[in-house]
Amino acid sequence: FGSRSARDRPGQRVSLPAGRPLPAMCGAAGSVLGSRRYGAAVAGPANVVKGSRLCADAELQQLLDGWRTLGVYFANVVLLAEGKDSAKSYDIDTDTWTVNETVLGKTALVLKTTAYGFLTLRLGPQGFQWEHVDTYRRLKLKVVDSCAQRFEVDQLRAALQDQRAVEYAEDTIHDFASFAKRLFDDLTGKSCEGEKPHDPLAGKVRPGPAAVAAAGVGSNAAPAGRIG
C-alpha cells in the first residue's frame, strides 16, 4: 500500500491555519487526530464568534457522523479552566452550608469517548478549535468540574445547536470562556458556577453511633439529668 504520510498516521496531531481545510479523516471514525480553528469575525471593537458557525464545522460533523455510525458514545465530561474560586458560607438559622463557585480564566471542554480517545472543544480570541486527541494534558488547564455519564453523539449536536443564536465576544455576558461552561451545563444538567449546597464533611470518615457512644465512656462529662 506504500508509505503513509504524517497526516495519515493515527495519533498524529494536525494543526492548520484558520480557513484552511483539514485533510480527510482516516476512516469513518476519524482516527487521525486533528484540529480545526475558525478565525473570529470582526464586528466593531470586539472579535465576535457566532454560535451558528460552531455547528457549521464540516470536519467536526464528519467526525461525529463516523462515531454515530460505529455506535461510539461519550462516557465522561470534563471542564478545564485556569482555576476555580470557592467561597463557603454557613446559615445559622437553617443550619446549612453553601458554596459559591466561580470558574476562572480560559476554559475548555473535554469529552471522553468509549473507544476513540478524547474530543476537546474550546473558544478563544482566535476562534473555535476542536481536537481529537489521545490526551488533553497538553492544554495545561486544571480540572474544575467533571461528570461521569453516558450519552450519544446526537446529544452533543443538540447542545451545539442550542448555541446557534449566541454571539461570543470578550467583555460581554457571553465571553469566550462561557462557551465551554455553557456546554458543560447543557450536557450534564449541572451548574459549574453559582451557589450550591455544601457538605463540610464530604470525603471525611463520619463516626457511627457506636463510635460516638464509645467516645463518651470514661469521659468527665456529667451524667444526663445531673448538674454539678
Predicted confidence (pLDDT) per residue in 34-58, tens digit: 444 444 444 443 488 888 888 888 9
Rounded CA separation 26/115 (Å): 15
CA distances from 91 to 31, 60, 98, 128, 202 (A): 52, 47, 8, 42, 18
The 10 Å Cβ neighbour count of residue 76 is 15
Closest CA to 77 of 137, 22, 15, 156: 156
Predicted confidence (pLDDT) per residue in 161-200, tens digit: 999 999 999 989 999 999 999 999 999 999 999 888 888 8
Predicted confidence (pLDDT) per residue in 113-167, tens digit: 998 899 999 998 888 899 999 999 889 899 999 999 999 999 999 999 999 999 9
